[in-house]
Amino acid sequence: MTAPLLWAFFLLLALSVPVAHAMLGGAAAALWLDGKPMAVLAQRLYTPTQSFPMLAIPFFILAGNLMMSGRFGEYLVNIARLLVGRFKGGMGQVSILGSVMFGGVSGSAVADATALGNALIPVQKKAGYPGGFAAAINSSSSTISVLIPPSIPLILYGLISNTSVIDLFVAGIFPGLMLGFGMFAMVWIIARLRNLPSAPLEGGFAAFKSQVYAAIPAMLMPVFVIGTLRFGIATPTEVSVMAVAYALLVSGFVYRDLNPKLLWRAGVDTAAMTGAVMIIIMASSTVQWVLTAERVPQDLAAWVAVSISEPWMVIIALNLVMLVVGAFLDLPAAVLLLGPIFVTIAEAIGLDPVQLGLMIVVNLSIGLYTPPVGTTLFISSSIAKVGIGEAVKALLPFYVVALAVLALISFIPALTIY
């Protein structure tokens, strides 16, 4: 069944069919040619929707949308300008620091790229930043959001690999900060070479105090999530519901910007994002069933164990596969497709599943700003009104930073295992 699945899947992708529908088409072709009843397809589509931990995804998305639909985004940008705007390339630094803080609220690179891109790219271009450089900063830095908790891709990986989501959340913090510091340094170097201006926020310490006081309630969201999980107070699903309640309280009683229009916008955005994620989860479940029935993960792991003698060579091979796949598939779909197979291979070479999870997410996040299917790249280029080629050229230094972080977490377990 595996060969028909792959042929149909890649054929549909070549015809520009959406990834989820291509996976469904591939699974249907495999079942039909093997004489299996189509009822299996319906069963596999339905099964993953009955997972209780899966409820954490829409609730975390809703919590982030409630926060970012209000005044928190303005406070976040102002704090970032107060902290790093004085450096060379200050508005670029603001974009990166904003992604670090935003990631602790949204957990979505696409939401980050859209919200911060619309707020900062026009300002950067007005300050003299080349459009391609502004798009490159936004598209690459927004991927920090998939590492800083609560991260939707890490939740997905935890569900399909039976790895603790709590351990993944904690392990994602340091790589996310490493990525942020690396991009800080790269923007500073480029800004000095191009003599780009700083962008301090006027008002000094008084302005800093007022902005920090205003933003503290929202910035405590990731602390609340990690603390509650780390001390075993609640499960990830329960914490996601508590996060929504927290967001409603902050928006309603602290920022006082909670209104029917904000609730409607947050609800619609959450429904759209949840629907996109769920259809990929459902479609990937059918593909996983076909692959498992054919014992593809086990056979592939056995082949790797026989053919590649050194674990470090296996790790390099896994990373190369993910870099290629990430350029063609969106991050959630790639996590769900590759995760079950790579977990089996990782067990064969003694690679910790938490370390593997961070490798997968960091690696595939590079695909978010890599053609031909770079989601944050297309969003940022559209906002900056520049061609994809111009943005990719400006992205080259940021690829170096991301690959360096990927290499570190791939070969230094201490960076991801606590």
With a pLDDT cut of 70, the percent of the chain lying above it is 88
CA 8 – CA 331 distance, rounded (Å)? 21
Classify residue 201 by its DSSP letter.
Answer: P
pLDDT band at 227 (very low <50, low <70, confident <90, very high): confident
The pLDDT score that the predictor gives to residue 202 is 66
Better pLDDT: 417 or 128: 128
Degrees to nearest 5, angle at CA 365 with 161 and 408: 80
pLDDT band at 205 (very low <50, low <70, confident <90, very high): low
Q: Does residue 9 surpass a pLDDT of 80?
A: no
Helices first, then strands: H and E counts in the chain:
19, 0
CA 333 – CA 335 distance, rounded (Å)? 5
The DSSP code sequence of 205-232 is: HHHHHHHHHHHHHHHHHHHHHHHHHHTT
Helix (H), strand (E) at residue 359: helix 353-366
Task: Count the neighbouring beta carbons within 10 Å of the beta carbon of residue 332.
Answer: 24
pLDDT band at 105 (very low <50, low <70, confident <90, very high): low
Q: Does residue 351 surpass a pLDDT of 70?
A: yes
Contacts 24+ apart (CB under 8 A), 77-84: 77/116, 77/119, 77/120, 78/201, 78/207, 78/211, 79/208, 79/211, 79/212, 79/215, 81/199, 81/200, 81/201, 82/200, 82/201, 82/203, 82/207, 82/208, 82/211, 84/184
CA 119 – CA 124 distance, rounded (Å)? 9
Q: What region, left, alpha or beta, does residue 220 occupy, with left being phi > 0 and alpha being psi -120 to 50 degrees?
A: alpha
The pLDDT score that the predictor gives to residue 204 is 60
pLDDT digits (tens, 9 = 90+) for 24-58: 887 888 777 777 777 777 777 777 777 777 787 88
The pLDDT score that the predictor gives to residue 137 is 92
CA 193 – CA 92 distance, rounded (Å)? 14
pLDDT digits (tens, 9 = 90+) for 235-244: 778 888 888 8
Q: Does residue 368 surpass a pLDDT of 90?
A: no
Distance of alpha carbon 204 from its chain centroid, rounded? 34
pLDDT digits (tens, 9 = 90+) for 377-405: 888 888 888 888 888 899 999 999 999 99
How confident is the model over 277-292, as a mean pLDDT? 76
Q: Does residue 407 surpass a pLDDT of 90?
A: yes
The pLDDT score that the predictor gives to residue 186 is 92
Better pLDDT: 388 or 204: 388
How confident is the model over 299-306, as a mean pLDDT? 69
CA 108 – CA 121 distance, rounded (Å)? 19
How confident is the model over 124-138, as a mean pLDDT? 87
The pLDDT score that the predictor gives to residue 355 is 93
Do the beta carbons of residue 187 and residue 212 sit within 8 Å? no
CA 71 – CA 148 distance, rounded (Å)? 21
The pLDDT score that the predictor gives to residue 152 is 83
Locate all alpha helices (DSSP H) within 195-326, ordered by sequence. Answer: 204-230, 236-249, 260-293, 296-307, 311-326
How confident is the model over 253-258, as a mean pLDDT? 80
Do the beta carbons of residue 414 and residue 171 sit within 8 Å? no
Mean pLDDT of the chain: 81
The CB-side HSE value for 87 (13 A sphere, CA atoms) comes to 20
The winner for highest mean pLDDT among 199-213, 267-281, 364-378, 397-411 is 397-411
The pLDDT score that the predictor gives to residue 399 is 94
Helix (H, G, I), strand (E, B) or coil at 417: coil
Residue whose tokens read 């302005």: 207
The pLDDT score that the predictor gives to residue 1 is 58
How confident is the model over 332-352, as a mean pLDDT? 85
Do the beta carbons of residue 374 and residue 139 sit within 8 Å? yes
Q: Does residue 92 surpass a pLDDT of 90?
A: no
Q: Does residue 133 surpass a pLDDT of 80?
A: yes
pTM: predicted TM-score of the whole model, two decimal places: 0.80
